[in-house]
A and B are shown apart, each in its own frame.
Chain A
Amino acid sequence: MSTTTAAAAPLTKKTAKPPNPARVRRRRRLAQWGFIAPAVVFMALFFGYPLVRNIVMSFQDYSPSTFFTGESPFNGTDNWSKVFNDELFGKALWHTILFTIGSLIGQFCIGLGLAVFFTRRFPLNGVLRSLILLPWLVPMVVSGVVWRRILDQDTGVLNSFLGTLGLGGDTPWLTSTNMALISVILVNVWIGIPFNMVILYGGLQEVPKELYEAASLDGASAWRSFRSITLPMLRPVITVVLVLGFMSTVKILDLILALTDGGPADSTQTLGTLTYQNSFVQLDFGAGAVVGNILILISAVFAVFYLRANRNEGK
């Protein structure tokens, strides 16, 4: 900005009219807004509008007849009390928390382990690394359907495999109310590993080799150099991986629909499936919007924590 004002001064001097600083400032401001406008319009249209609409909708009686009449009368907090009085909501919230924490821990630990493993040089490193990407390339619904077959209690591949190893082989992966959520988490971990591994692997490439050389001269063990060099150097990358992972995990829908459809007996209902069920099965869009808003709120709270953590880092 300072350069532009410096350039502006001599130009205005050459003109016959006396310089008008107020006008210059106004013009500059106009230019600034001109550049910002496209972004603001875009954000307002595609992020702001749906967000506001969703919040408004959660206070409206938005039913199938709304599509014909265009009328959606406000009904106060009816939708909210309906959702909060539904015992399914508490269950779904709890499942969402377990699912998100379980998935993130699993994906991150295995992803980091693999990333560290692949930083070593060995034959076929590149081939293996690209093969591990496969789960990420398969559409989630396809993975869901395939895993549903694999995890079938009687005819699934996993149980017959465990059976031949003599490890039982009649685990009710998706058919027991205690087991289903764990199975769904395991499948999601499998899906999320490649993403975590790729980003962390990229981060590891950025860590200067000299640091490790220095550490080995100081006689640090492998564990010590991992803890004192790798982890701190990776911190920004780790935050990004966890935040992105959280955002995509907390709103999970397609995988669960394909694997269990929220069952058995609602044991795998999450906030994502609940909002789907409210909106598209019961066609109660108001109640669906309430659950959607809660999901947004959770993400927003998390985003605030993330921004604060980042700011502290900058200091």
Chain B
Amino acid sequence: MSNRFTPRVAVPLTVVSALIGGAVLSGCGQQRDPDVYTVLNSSTDESYHRWDAQTLARCGKRLGVTIEQQSVPAAQVMTKALRMASSKSLPDVLQLDASEMPTFAEAGGLIPLKDLGLTTKDIPEGIVDFGSYEGTYYGAARTVNTLALFYNKDTLDKAGLKVPTTWAEMRAAAKKLTHGRQYGLALSAGGAEDGVFQFTPFMWSNGGDETKLDSPEVAGALDYWKSLLKDGSLSKSTVNWTQADVNDQFMAGNAAMMINGPWQVETLNSKKGLDWGIAEIPVPEPGDDSVGPLGGGVLTVPNTGDEEREKMSAKIIGCMSGEQEQITYALNSWMVPANEKAAAEWRTKVPELDALADQVATARSRTAKLGARWSSVSLALQSAFQSALTGESSEAALTRAQKRATSGN
């Protein structure tokens, strides 16, 4: 019986399996629609997605093209874009977190914006650096953010305290404000980029540097964090908190002050009766500069190999980061416009965020010195401050971190 069926059965089966295999193996080349451009960003949050959609609709109308928005969670933008690169389906405009941009640029994935006709006129030097890798300007920022000290006005008034400006003042104030369920200060020392972002203003204001983690200045900053924890002014959960957790604690009244960024303002304002203020992050000694980290996304043109489209992509970026669009976006998202003129106009509209604008003016980019090596240093630093906050000495933890950071690459 079987030999009668043999050819009839065997052949179709083999053909079917070959077909399935072939279909899986052959990648599908993507045909681009000439009038439709895509932007990949991390605006998964409903309001951010809507604001961006409005901006893109206005820019699309002005440039006579359709612009589609695709949003993935911030942590996945990089890996998603890399996958798109290998399947030759990169978006026309890619919004990257500024700390990730150097990695993408180093890989040869970005087109210099000046080659495509975008200028850096009216953009402060610090923000041009923020969007540059090895001296080449790849990313245009619409707005930037940084960290600042948020405080509960009522709580501070009740305790008769002024807003602290130095480390000593902050330590004393935090100690005085700690009672019952309330901690004096909340910050994030979590084991991810959040914690490192929060550590940088302390490290930099103290004269420390990410290129030399085992310097006494970095250890001094870490010792300061340790002293806050030892006083009981910081919750022991600090090592497990993200910046969003810190904001929750502040809103729930579990912390009188917090270190956080302006992207939390939208949520902060949703709680009625919470009267908060904002100030620059305190410095080690009176008169020191408060140096915060610059954060935020930059708009880049990925290397798709299609020059005509790339030119149009640059025009889209030019429109998105135009003065008026910057102000609109900044007012929506509570961040600071990148452009000098736009920032000046923005200041008159939201005087309560003056401290933030000052902090941005002196802020530094995390990757300016290390470029693509930042991620290794960041990982080593996370592990170091977490070890130190859970018992080890700052010097020992940071010495190990420096060794790990330099051996990593």
Contacts and interface: CB of A to CB of B under 8 A. Distances in A.
A binds B: yes
B1 interface: yes
B297 to A, nearest CB: 18
Contact of A261 (B18, B183, B190): B190
B383 A266 contact: yes
Q: How large is the interface on A (under 10, 10 to 19, 20 to 34, 35 or more residues)?
A: 35 or more
B236 interface: yes
Contacts of B254: 154-155
A64 B13 contact: no
Point out which of A8, A11, A66, A282 has the most chain B C-beta atoms below 10 A from its C-beta: A282
A37 B191 contact: no
Contacts, number: 157
Residue from A33, A35, A154 having most chain B Cβ neighbours under 10 A: A154
The 4 closest A-B pairs by CB, nearest first: A263-B191, A34-B10, A265-B386, A64-B107
Contact of A67 (B11, B24, B83): B83
16 contacts: A7-B1, A35-B10, A38-B20, A45-B24, A64-B107, A66-B86, A85-B407, A86-B404, A152-B240, A153-B237, A174-B237, A175-B238, A264-B389, A264-B390, A283-B78, A283-B375
Contacts of A87: 404
B82 A67 contact: yes
A299 interface: no
A225 interface: no
Given A64-B109, A153-B235, A280 B79 contact: yes
A96 B25 CA distance: 36
Contact of A152 (B82, B237, B303): B237
B107 A67 contact: yes
A4 interface: yes
B191 A260 contact: yes
Given A35-B13, A263-B240, 5 more contacts: A28-B6, A34-B13, A45-B24, A263-B386, A265-B386
A106 B390 CA distance: 28
A262 B375 contact: no
A230 interface: no
B191 A264 contact: yes
A28 B2 contact: yes
Contact of B375 (A27, A33, A175, A282): A282
Contacts of B375: 281-283
Contact of B85 (A38, A68, A82, A281): A68
Interface in B180-226: 181, 183, 190-192
A267 B249 CA distance: 25
Contacts of A175: 236-240, 390
A255 to B, nearest CB: 15
Interface of B: 1-7, 9-11, 13-14, 16-18, 20-21, 24-25, 78-79, 82-83, 85-86, 103-104, 106-109, 181, 183, 190-192, 235-240, 249, 252, 254, 303, 375-376, 379, 382-383, 386-387, 389-392, 404, 407-408
Given A4-B1, A64-B104, A152-B237, A263 B190 contact: yes
Nearest to A35: B13
A109 B392 CA distance: 37
Contacts of A65: 106-109
A293 interface: no
Interface in A26-68: 27-28, 30-31, 33-35, 37-38, 41-42, 45, 63-68
A87 B387 CA distance: 14
A215 B106 CA distance: 74
B389 to A, nearest CB: 7
A265 B390 contact: yes
Given A34-B14, A64-B106, A282 B376 contact: yes
B11 A34 contact: yes
A68 B107 contact: yes
A266 B386 contact: yes
B6 A281 contact: no
Given A65-B107, A263-B382, A172 B236 contact: yes
B3 A174 contact: no
Given A64-B109, A68-B108, A282-B379, A264 B407 contact: no
Contacts of B3: 4, 8, 11, 24, 27-28, 31
Contact of B4 (A11, A154, A262): A11
A33 B17 CA distance: 12
Given A31-B9, A175-B237, A261 B192 contact: yes
A77 interface: no
A152 B391 CA distance: 19
A38 B17 CA distance: 5
Contacts of A35: 9-10, 13
Residue of A4, A34, A63, A153 with most partner-chain B CB within 10 A: A34
Interface string A66-87: 1111100000000000100111
A150 to B, nearest CB: 13
